[in-house]
Structure 1
Amino acid sequence: ENPGEKIIYTVRASRIIPEVIKKNRGEGVLWRIGHSVIKRKMRKENILFGGETSSHYYHKRHYFSEAPFFVLFKVLEELSRSQKKISQLTAPFQKYYYSGEIEFRISNFEEKIEKVQEYYKGGKENRLDGLRVDFKDWWFLIRPSGTEEGLLKLVVEAERKDLMEQKKKELTKIIST
């Protein structure tokens, strides 16, 4: 709808997000998690739209504030236009297997992050917000919670369910020991 415009998404987002942005000729901007840092970045770079996996969405037209009704109306508009069920509309985006957030109560964040970083040193690292490491067919993000002290969060995504489960188990073992 707006080719060339910037769309912001967070380090926790599925790989499908930048793929869809690129396919629709948008410019994806990978950023940190949290509404205040996202809105600040959107204002600074005049970004059209942004979203988080927590279902918070922001739009320039709404003064970079939360825009849940904008998203709802866009979904309803597409449902009406296409005459498809929502499950049919979302099916093409169900390409990857996503673990959801896994939480660990720990106090030694940096030690755990360094341990994980050393174990997975063959991937493409991103330290924008915690540690995200991307591999060809899977990735993970490990980061301290921004709202709860002593909480470490892990997300794993892969092209195959068995791979996601294997890596989730592997990472859980590393973090827990």
Structure 2
Amino acid sequence: MPPDLAIHLVPQIEEIQRELSQRRETVSTAESCTGGLLASWLTQLPGSSAVYLGGVSAYANSVKQQVLHVDQKLLNNYGAVSPEVAQAMAASIRKLTGSTYALSITGIAGPGGGTAEKPVGTVFCGIASPRGVRFVHLGLSGDRDSIRHQSAQRAIAELKEEIPK
């Protein structure tokens, strides 16, 4: 088992890969606070190249704007850690890669950077699919590593939920 992949996620990721492969569907990712962790997990098992198209680790707002084409107004009005930006990131990476599904993660993993409005552990996961674009607000706790891992785990769970049975 890959060292960074929790053993309980292996069956979920295998199931996602199997479902997407059978349907000839694909997934892509756009990550901020997880810095590519989600992409790493989605590609650590054999068969991932059949379903994972690629991703962007957009830590800086300039990358969110220039690569993912997140509107400057969204960043100014709502901040990088917001439902609006999470949805824009997911929609953009889906469009850029041509994937069936796309996941995004943006949040505050800590230990610093939190505010009263958006404390450490505030994370938004965006999900873009043929059914539209939505977000999930995650209010997480723990240290930086734990928040990053919980965020990627929830994104995987959201992808599994988004794929029709």
- TM-score normalised by the shorter chain: which range applies? under 0.3
How high is the TM-score relative to the length of structure 2?
Answer: 0.25
Question: Which protein has the bigger strand share?
Answer: 1
How high is the TM-score relative to the length of structure 1?
Answer: 0.23
Structure having the higher Rg: 1
